[in-house]
């Protein structure tokens, strides 16, 4: 096996823009709102773009290579992560994602936890994450009916490099002027609460049932560990995914994990991944899949990389403790 790259899957959106062309040379016409970069879902399937398995569907390669690709501890029945890059030149709908229990019961689908990394934020860029204090279901319903929904919501200015964990049940949206890397559960279930009079279907009753009024939207600062040639920040750790940020000054060395795959997404700079049989280059906007059976690899360059994977939580916690215990 070798590090896999994928063809970008683009989706035009009413709120999309052209900003992905800042680092992509294959952007199709139209207002592109989403690029699905690692996907194994009925609504979008990644196709490998490099090496021996070029033009192979990801789901077909999983069937073919099994544990050697995804790892001994990862389910072969359902790929669990979806990685997107979003570009907003208008507001997304105000929305909420259900948790696993609700989504399985009502939609026969998984729920959706997700984490946002702000790849770029232009002037006056904002997110809406959660509700203001003392907002009840009744107050929220009244605000929706009166068209005053944003008065109830927690609006926060954002900067490049920030991270926000969007837990299922948290009402949210991305406002104008951002490029966001989104790592999420492999689900496409979204309930729109308000859509700025754009005429798309709303799901108000389901949304009101799915919203967790106790959740707060907060920036994730993480835990940063400095090394000689790079730093690593643990940004998010949960049952569905783990997210870490590597800031690489020259290089670092790692090994794949026979239990699970890794995905690196470059959010700044460029470099390469050298492994036993060759080299794969990576630049801003690229995602690259590290198979469970790859073995040792070395990442070289000056760049920032997001590393996402499905964790063994206890193992990651022990790794963090080894870093801080003296």
pLDDT tens digits for range 268-321: 999 999 999 999 999 999 999 999 999 999 999 999 999 999 999 999 999 999
User: What pLDDT sits at residue 326?
Assistant: 66
Report the CATH number at residue 68.
2.60.120.10
**Using only C-alpha atoms, what is the Rg of the chain?**
20
Q: How confident is the model at residue 180 (pLDDT cuts 50, 70, 90)?
A: very high
Q: Going along 47-205, which residue ranges are E strands? A: 81-88, 94-96, 114-121, 126-131, 153-157, 163-166, 172-174, 178-185, 191-194
Catalytic residue among 18, 22, 57, 192: 192
**Are 229 and 121 part of one and the same domain?**
no
- pLDDT of residue 11 exceeding 90, the answer is yes
Q: Of the candidates 104, 120, 115, 55, which has an alpha carbon nearest to the alpha carbon of residue 82?
A: 115
Q: How confident is the model at residue 1 (pLDDT cuts 50, 70, 90)?
A: very high
**Are 63 and 100 part of one and the same domain?**
yes
**Are 183 and 53 part of one and the same domain?**
yes
Distance in angstroms (rounded) separating the CA atoms of residues 81 and 286: 16
**Are 146 and 283 part of one and the same domain?**
no
**Are 165 and 253 part of one and the same domain?**
no
Please say which residue of 180, 210, 240 terminates a domain. 210
**Rounded to two decimals, what is the model's pTM?**
0.94
**Are 155 and 13 part of one and the same domain?**
yes
> How big is the chain, counted in residues?
326
Number of domains making up the chain: 2
**Are 195 and 244 part of one and the same domain?**
no
Averaged pLDDT for residues 230-240: 94
Domain residues for the domain of 44 are 9-210
Q: Is residue 297 part of a domain?
A: yes
Active site residue 192: yes
Averaged pLDDT for residues 246-257: 96
**Are 303 and 270 part of one and the same domain?**
yes
Q: Using an 8 Å Cβ cutoff, are 17 and 88 in contact?
A: yes
Please say which residue of 210, 243, 265 terminates a domain. 210
**Are 188 and 71 part of one and the same domain?**
yes
User: What pLDDT sits at residue 317?
Assistant: 94
**Are 139 and 231 part of one and the same domain?**
no
Residue 264 CA from chain centroid, whole number: 11
Averaged pLDDT for residues 169-179: 94
Average pLDDT value for the chain: 94
159 CB contacts (<8 Å, ≥6 apart)? 118, 121
Q: Is residue 292 part of a domain?
A: yes
**Are 67 and 183 part of one and the same domain?**
yes
């Amino acid at each position: 096996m070798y590090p896999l790259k994928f063809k970008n899957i683009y989706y035009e959106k009413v709120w999309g823009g052209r900003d992905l062309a800042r680092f992509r040379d294959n952007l199709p016409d139209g207002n592109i709102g989403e690029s699905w970069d690692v996907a194994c879902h009925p609504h979008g399937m990644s196709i490998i773009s490099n090496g021996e398995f070029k033009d192979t569907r990801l789901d077909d390669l999983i069937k073919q290579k099994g544990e050697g690709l995804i790892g001994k501890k990862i389910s072969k029945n359902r790929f669990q992560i979806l990685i997107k890059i979003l570009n907003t030149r208008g507001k997304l709908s105000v929305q909420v994602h259900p948790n696993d229990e609700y989504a399985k019961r009502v939609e026969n689908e998984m729920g959706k936890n997700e984490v946002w990394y702000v790849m770029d934020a232009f002037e006056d860029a904002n997110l809406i994450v959660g509700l203001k204090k003392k907002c009840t279901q009744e107050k929220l319903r009244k605000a929706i009916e009166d068209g005053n929904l944003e008065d109830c919501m927690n609006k926060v200015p954002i900067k490049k490099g920030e991270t926000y964990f969007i837990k299922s049940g948290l009402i949210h949206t991305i406002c104008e002027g951002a490029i966001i890397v989104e790592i999420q559960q492999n689900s496409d279930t979204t309930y729109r609460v308000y859509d700025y009079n754009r005429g798309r279907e709303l799901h108000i009753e389901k949304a009101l049932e799915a919203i967790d009024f106790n959740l707060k939207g907060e920036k994730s600062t993480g835990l940063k560990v400095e090394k000689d040639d790079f730093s690593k920040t643990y940004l998010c750790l949960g049952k569905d995914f783990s997210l870490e940020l590597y800031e690489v000054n020259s290089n670092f060395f790692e090994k794949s994990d026979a239990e699970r795959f890794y995905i690196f997404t470059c959010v700044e700079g460029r470099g390469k991944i050298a492994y036993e049989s060759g080299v794969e280059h990576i630049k801003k906007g690229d995602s690259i899949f590290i198979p469970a059976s790859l073995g040792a690899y070395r990442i070289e360059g000056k760049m920032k990389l997001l590393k996402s994977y499905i964790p063994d939580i206890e193992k990651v916690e022990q790794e963090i403790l080894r870093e801080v215990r003296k």
